[in-house]
A = this chain, B = another copy of it.
Amino acid sequence: MGQGMSKSNNVYKDAYNRCLRLLDETRSLPSEPELGTLLGVSRTTVRSILARMEETGLIAWNKRAKTVLRDPRPDDFFPEEETDTLAEIIERSFMRRLLAGGAEAGMQINELELAREIGVGTTSVREFLIRFSRFGLIEKRRNSHWVLKGFTRAFALELTEIREMFELRSAAAFAALPQDSPVWADLDRLEDEHRLLAQEIATRFNAFSELDERFHRLIHRASHNRFIVDFYDVIAMIFHYHYQWNKAQERERNEVAVGEHLAYIEALKSRDLGKVDAACRKHLKSARQTLLTSIPESRSLQKS
């Protein structure tokens, strides 16, 4: 299956699914260009979607007249796994291998083997590795193989060192933003979400991960520095897999973190640089601790 296939139509399938949800909500469909903007795809893809919706009897379609004929059913949707980007598929496979033990630092990475194992072309794997290399976990030997540097204690320390430097600076920049900046409204909204989550922490603690990312990205953006903003991708990636992998005391950890975020938000709103610095430091310290304790000892003994 999937062999010899030049390119999967996951963009279409994903947009189709999202379009179904839209249909379910609004009971109508706008013009083709508008729908394209809404779904973030070209009109070419929009027309493929509409064509299929007509075929499956969801809508009647004649030029600009689009009539909804019936509600979308669960089986109208494409399976979730068919909507993933190749890059996502490769990343998942790669990270699974990397975290599922046996991935010792210094080990060499074989493009061809990876490609065969995942069932994709070598080009895609190469491109993935190049993109991934900026995370500092792998390194290329000139016209030869890639080397795994390992998810070690050293890595975590280096990562958090930069993170702390960047976030302290961003937080200070944030606090210095004028009162009429739209970020204060964003912050208020995030504060509400944090309070809500704090109340329902017992059942919704796993919603924290996503909130965490949005909160920190908002702060980093205040730096107005592309290198700082981009660096959050590294942190986000590591934390994304960290959250999936280290489930020990997740509820407690997240509860503490929500509290720290609220104090941090309070400090930002006070616009008192001393308070901001203290709150930021405190939160980052416990975030680092959490990350460090999740690194198995066997992995932390290796040389960088």
Which partner residue on chain B sits nearest A161 by CB separation?
A: B225
Flag whether A131 is at the interface (Cβ < 8 A).
Answer: yes
Flag whether A217 is at the interface (Cβ < 8 A).
Answer: no
Flag whether A28 is at the interface (Cβ < 8 A).
Answer: no
Q: Is B169 within 8 A of A165, CB to CB?
A: yes
Q: Is A230 within 8 A of B136, CB to CB?
A: yes
Flag whether A123 is at the interface (Cβ < 8 A).
Answer: yes
Chain B contacts for A123, CB-based, 8 A: 123
Given the interface contacts A127-B126, A131-B130, A134-B134, does A227 sit within 8 Å of B162 by beta carbon?
Answer: yes
Of B11, B126, B127, B155, which one neighbours A143 at CB under 8 angstroms? B11
Chain B contacts for A127, CB-based, 8 A: 126-127, 130
Flag whether A228 is at the interface (Cβ < 8 A).
Answer: yes
Q: Which of A91-149 contact B (CB under 8 A)?
A: 123, 126-127, 130-131, 134, 136, 142-143, 149
Flag whether A158 is at the interface (Cβ < 8 A).
Answer: yes
How many chain A residues touch the partner (CB < 8 A)? 28
Counting chain B CB atoms within 10 Å of each CB, the highest count among A126, A134, A159, A226 belongs to: A226
- Closest Cβ–Cβ distance, residue A119 to chain B (whole Å): 20
Q: Is A227 within 8 A of B130, CB to CB?
A: no
Docked Cα-Cα span, A131 to B133, in Å, equals 9
- Closest Cβ–Cβ distance, residue A79 to chain B (whole Å): 21
Chain B contacts for A230, CB-based, 8 A: 134, 136
Interface residues of A (CB under 8 A from B): 11, 40, 123, 126-127, 130-131, 134, 136, 142-143, 149, 155, 158-159, 161-162, 165, 169, 224-228, 230-231, 234, 304
